[in-house]
Structure 1
Amino acid sequence: MMIPLFVDCSGRRVVIFGGGAVAARKAAYFADEARVTVVSRSFVHKIETMPVKTRAMDIETASDEKIAAAIGKAFLVIAALSDPVQNNRIGRICRKAGILFNNADGDKGSVILPAVSSGENYAIAISTGGSSPAVSRFIREYLEQELPELDAMVALQQKLRDQLKKKVPEQERRNEILKKVLADQPLWKLLRSDPAKAWNRVAARYLDG
């Protein structure tokens, strides 16, 4: 059984096998944080424009030893080839070396990359365990369409928590106020149109009231 986990990949080495559209999506997922190397005999243009390293290799004809050398001491390996047989072979090499592995097509690896909805102040990871990526995408898109103010609400809640700690000594009471703010539907609408007025409403109703 897998458990959800957020991991700091800053500076960690991620190796992606494959040079097509799927590999490009995987590379984009990590490129801003990790040190990404993409291994393939050819690369789509999008990969060539990313801040990643590329290494030319015909994976189908490469030996296990050559693939293991390309992996090195990677933190995570992703197999994003169109051939599940080759993806599974890379997975076996990773398991033998004790390296985390994600498989885009083939036997399930030790890591699943979720659909992610994120803003400046939040990140929500969604996964069906590989059963239905379409459902994961649907949930992500639904959240982003139905709650475009979510990022602003998180920022407001953080500001409110800081103020409540100064004014309300009882934690239980602070939690009640924070929940009431989340249930304040007019406030959500104000966050979309005028965040400053939204805070004024919170201050008047929940801090000064």
Structure 2
Amino acid sequence: MKLFPLFTDLHDRLVLVVGGGAVAERKAQALLEAGARVRVGAPELTSALAGLRNQGRVEHLAGRFEPAWLDGAWLAVAATGDREVNAAVSEAARARRLFCNVVDDPELSSFQVPSIVDRSPLIVAISSSGVAPVLARRLRERIESLFDHSLGPLAALAARYRARIRAAHPDLGARRRFYDWLMDGPVAALLRQQRPAQAETALDQALARPEPAPEGSVALVGAGPGDPGLLTLKALRALNEADIILHDRLVSDEVLALARRDAERVSVGKRPGEDHNATQARIHALLIEHARAGRRVVRLKGGDAFIFGRGGEELQALREAGVRYEVVPGVTAALACAAYAGVPLTHREHAQSVSLVTAHCRDDDNDLDWPALARAKQTLAFYMGVSQLELLSARLIAHGRSPRTPFALIENGSRPGQRVLSGPLERLPALADAHGIRAPALLIVGEVAALAPDLHWYGQMLEGAPQPAAA
């Protein structure tokens, strides 16, 4: 280990920053946030530093560096951009046995300023020992995605209740189990939901019991259309906290690979010969069973659970069973597939509204308002429509939509095998059959679909029927 990591209390302690430019400004701001008294030495200051000086928040020593500037300081930071001056600051600090950081110069530095993930009072610091600051920054970005902002209030709450927790659980093993419950249970969930008063009440009630029983929960998580890069930060955190993941068949392997390694994974897709209602009843039973067993359950659905995902039915079942739950939205297929195909769902010249429609319809299905769907100047996004393409195009044309209306059919949207087929509505079934389009695929109908050939940027673009082989 090249560097020994420290977390330093600088409250009301003097730190010298040498330099008056943008880098020195950033360092001074960070030191002020840590409660330090900041002295800035430089011939000139940025407007922001001058403002801090005028407000009395920093002390300014004008001119070129002198060792006397270090009088009374606990730390020094050299940020001048002039290596000769920076070296003089480093040497003077060394002579006084003061730690000194020279920005972007590890050879002259006796300490490094790490990249920071701030969830105060919880602080995570990442250092590359000064040799690869870009790598440290990239790691910080990844770590940021794992830590919810509610962790700070949770740590502060735990600190306030520390004495009561020790008194209620003098046994070390019991105390550890209580802290696990505190971090994973309803208190943390209520803080994530911005309900601090209820969180504190839940903690008070738990301390009144000898030891809280494990309490399970369900997170209804939207996995997006397949590209793991579209997973939200909250979804990633939920996957890393899960004990068991009940996932749909269409959730990509790449998304599942981001989950906690030891989490149990259970596919809950439709079984051969099983109708959809029976499948849904089985999913409800599994969610309730595992949550009641004290497990953290993630119900992982492709796209967004509340758009043709039966997420509302699952919440109703959980609420009726008294199971605690939360919802993490996902990027729905219409948004993602359209974006990856270069199709804007709205456009001031072509479409002023968007309709999201399930294409699971029968020949005699009268549930859809076909005359309304057939109106021009709107975009239609049909989910689960590959098996219904002939019916969809015929119904829209029969109710007044022009046969020349453009369509874009997006297969495996956002995934490595994405293909986009475009053409006129009247040729939709024939072109899809000729190119062998298969589910999962999303159909977009409307004038905006004509932009796909020019604006697509991902995957393969198909236009028109395949050419016959030469004789």
What range is the shorter-chain TM-score in? 0.7 to 0.9
Structure 1 gap ranges (5+): 60-66
* 1:2-32 deviation digits (Å, cap 9, x = unpaired): 2112223233332211110100111112235
Give the aligned partner of residue 188 of structure 1: 188
Q: Does 1:30 align with 2:31?
A: yes
Secondary structure of the equivalent of 2:91?
helix
Check the 8 A contact 2:12/2:37 in 1, yes or no: yes
Question: Within 5 A, what are the aligned runs for 1:41-190?
Answer: 41-50=43-52, 51-58=57-64, 67-106=66-105, 107-146=107-146, 147-158=148-159, 161-184=162-185, 187-190=187-190
* 1:116-148 deviation digits (Å, cap 9, x = unpaired): 333453333332221333343344455555411
Give the aligned partner of residue 4 of structure 1: 5
Mapped partners of 2:170, 2:32: distance in 1: 44
Mapped partners of 2:164, 2:19: distance in 1: 50
Greater displacement, 132-141 / 94-103? 132-141
Check the 8 A contact 1:17/1:80 in 2, yes or no: yes
Residue 73 (structure 1) shift: 4.3
Secondary structure of the equivalent of 1:43?
coil
Residue 188 (structure 1) shift: 3.4
Mapped partners of 1:12, 1:188: distance in 2: 34
Q: Does 1:20 align with 2:21?
A: yes
Secondary structure of the equivalent of 1:38?
strand
Mapped partners of 1:120, 1:35: distance in 2: 20
Mapped partners of 2:162, 2:41: distance in 1: 47
Mapped partners of 2:78, 2:158: distance in 1: 40
Mapped partners of 2:9, 2:140: distance in 1: 22
Residue 79 (structure 1) shift: 0.8
Q: CA RMSD in A?
A: 2.7
* 1:156-204 deviation digits (Å, cap 9, x = unpaired): 43355444333333122111221233233x6533212123333455556
Mapped partners of 1:181, 1:47: distance in 2: 42
Check the 8 A contact 1:117/1:124 in 2, yes or no: yes
Residue 43 (structure 1) shift: 0.7
**Letter matched to residue 70 of structure 2:** I
Check the 8 A contact 1:17/1:39 in 2, yes or no: yes
Check the 8 A contact 1:24/1:47 in 2, yes or no: yes
Check the 8 A contact 1:16/1:39 in 2, yes or no: yes
Mapped partners of 1:159, 1:34: distance in 2: 24
* 1:51-88 deviation digits (Å, cap 9, x = unpaired): 111122145xxxxxxx2233334322211011223312
Distance 1:165 1:109, change over 3 A: same
Asked which structure has the greater CA Rg, the reply is 2
Mapped partners of 1:158, 1:74: distance in 2: 31
Structure 2 gap ranges (5+): 213-471
- Which runs of structure 1 show a deviation greater than 6 angstroms over 4 or more consecutive aligned residues? none
Greater displacement, 109-118 / 170-179? 109-118
Secondary structure of the equivalent of 2:73?
coil
Distance 1:12 1:198, change over 3 A: closer
Mapped partners of 1:78, 1:7: distance in 2: 14
Give the aligned partner of residue 407 of structure 2: none
Residue 35 (structure 1) shift: 2.8
Secondary structure of the equivalent of 2:26?
helix
- Relative contact order higher in (CA < 8 Å, ≥ 6 apart): 1
Distance 1:73 1:151, change over 3 A: closer
**Letter matched to residue 80 of structure 2:** L
**Letter matched to residue 4 of structure 1:** P
Mapped partners of 1:187, 1:142: distance in 2: 25
TM-score w.r.t. length of structure 2: 0.38
**Letter matched to residue 78 of structure 2:** A
TM-score w.r.t. length of structure 1: 0.79
Check the 8 A contact 1:81/1:105 in 2, yes or no: no
**Letter matched to residue 136 of structure 1:** A
